[in-house]
Amino acid sequence: MGSLPKDCEHLLKNMVGDEIAMNPLDLGEFRRQEQMVVDFLVNYYKNVEKYPVLSQVEPGYLSKCLPSSAPEDEEPLEAILDDVHRYIVPGLTHWQSPTFFAYFQTNTSTAAILGEMLCAGFSVAGFNWVSSPAATELESLVMDWLGKMLDLPRPFLFSGNGGGVIEGNTTEAMICTLIAARERVLRRSGHDSITKLVVYGSDQTHCSFQKAARVVGIDPRNIRALKTTQSTLFGLSPDLLRKAIRLDIDGGLIPLYLCTTVGTTSVTAVDPLEPLCKVASEFGMWVHVDAAYAGSSCICPEYRKFLNGVEFADSFCFNAHKWLLTSLDCCCLWVKDPNALVKSLSTDPEYLKNEATESKQVVDYKDWQLSLSRRFRALKLWLVLRIYGVRNLRSHIRNDCRLAKLFEELVVKDGRFEVVFPRNFALVCFRIRPSAVTGMANGQAMEDENREAWKLNEVNKLNARLLHAINASGRIFITHTEVGGIYVLRFAVGAILVRERHVIMAWTVVQEHANSLLSMSGSNTHA
């Protein structure tokens, strides 16, 4: 090569020590530091059981520990990881701890972590096919793989002219399908009709549905949360849905969208899909099936029955990051009519035009989601499916359900407790039963109806105190819900490291704190 012109040499000399001195992808350092991070995580998982599962820090703790501004000069990774250990780890609620029994777990695994490493390493933004063909085609492939594992009807698969996409979360999936349903109706009735659109769910439907509906412009007064009862096991009644729809039509409103649920967050109730879909079809509504938690279990033939009727729906989603060993974020959404999404969400600026898109032979996933850019999430799902295989993934689900059944049996053996809702999957809903609390309302001059209401309130408060005492111990972490006016403790099995001994220990913790509370209230403490 020839020598540089003198003016270029001068400019280059001035840059040295400034712009080009730092190498943000020094491969030697990358290898060394990557090993340090891996070792750090290995040690974390070795010791995770020793930490209080629920973080014990006070609000605002971190600002007292770390500087108020970024460092001017570089700092060694060793010092940073030391700060992670000293300041960050104590502020974590340890979702992967084997004593985490709260909410629904967000699983991870070796395969998922390796997939995330590859995703971050490639750092592609696969918004359309040409921007990274492998990112698009692998996603389409694994979504068909997973759809077949779930025995989804062929019209949901690419091979059946439907298709699947990986969204960030359930809310995004709901927003996208709501937009598709909205635009389909407004093209016929005119955009001024948006104030007349009505969407339906039950009082057990996840709160993300209400948020999604508001985001797409549904009048909050037109978001129906239809009441469920114990008589229907808190599933949505088709008769109640039909009555609500007819009432809205009589009021000049337009029924748009029904969100059904397989495995509600509170108690894992299951809506009757087939009869609900048939009601919705009478009125030309879009039906979405939200199986965010329970969908993973349906890869097991014995749980697939909970999806019966999905063939009549328009869209279906579940979160692989909840129970299928695939870390956040990985919400899998299938639609029968991908064109409904594309028509509503597509953008076509000049700077994205290309021959592949114009050929109509490729998928451009930017038109299946809210944002333009997207992560290569399919990599980690692909690794999970390949490294573990269907057989081991089924075994993982079944083992969690077995451990949940063990906890349920321990609850039933203690006469002071009751299982409040039948266990469908790996969640046990339980409480201290009213009969365990003796002498309640003694001496109270009140009508029978008032006495029962008072007693329910007292039992609810006792169970709330039990929850607080359990979680304050730091030994286990569980959460609660309220259904039919009853305060319920939720015990969700699903942490990747959980074993039988952790479940037995958890029940011991529950009993210890129940003994203390019931003793203080002078109630029956016989287990």
pLDDT digits (tens, 9 = 90+) for 130-189: 989 999 999 999 999 999 999 999 999 999 999 999 999 999 999 999 999 999 999 998
Q: What is the pLDDT of residue 449?
A: 64
Domain boundaries, the chain: 125-375, 387-520
Q: What is the pLDDT of residue 443?
A: 46
Q: What is the largest CA-CA distance in the chain?
A: 104
Q: What is the pLDDT of residue 447?
A: 61
Query: What architecture (CATH level 2) is domain 387-520?
Result: Alpha-Beta Complex (3.90)
How crowded is residue 32: how many other Cβ atoms within 10 Å of its Cβ?
11
**Rg value, the chain, Cα:** 27
Q: In this predicted model, which residue has the larger pLDDT, 8 or 494?
A: 494
The 3-state secondary structure of 306-325, one letter per residue: HHCCHHHCCEEEEEHHHHCC
Which residues make Cβ contacts (< 8 Å) with residue 418, sequence separation at least 6?
411, 430, 431, 433
Which long-range contacts does 141-144 make (Cβ < 8 Å, 24+ apart)?
141/378, 141/382, 142/378, 142/381, 142/382, 142/385, 143/332, 143/334, 143/378
Nearest to 340 by CA among 161, 96, 110: 161
Mean pLDDT of 246-269: 97
Q: What is the pLDDT of residue 527?
A: 46
pLDDT digits (tens, 9 = 90+) for 264-293: 999 999 999 999 999 999 999 999 999 999
Tell me which of 283-297, 322-336, 442-456, 464-478 is least confident.
442-456
* Residue 23: pLDDT band with limits 50, 70, 90: confident
How crowded is residue 240: how many other Cβ atoms within 10 Å of its Cβ?
18
* Residue 11: pLDDT band with limits 50, 70, 90: low
Q: What is the pLDDT of residue 455?
A: 83
Q: What is the pLDDT of residue 439?
A: 55
User: Interior CA angle at 385 toward 37 and 288, to 5°?
Assistant: 110
Mean pLDDT of 84-110: 95
CATH topology of domain 125-375: Aspartate Aminotransferase; domain 2 (3.40.640)
Provide φ and ψ at 73, rounded to 5°.
-115, 165
User: Interior CA angle at 235 toward 232 and 239, to 5°?
Assistant: 75
> Does residue 357 have a pLDDT over 90?
no
Token pair recorded at residue 337: 């009519």
Q: What is the pLDDT of residue 287?
A: 98
pLDDT digits (tens, 9 = 90+) for 436-445: 876 554 545 5
pLDDT digits (tens, 9 = 90+) for 314-342: 999 999 999 999 999 999 999 999 999 99
Amino acid letter, 93: T
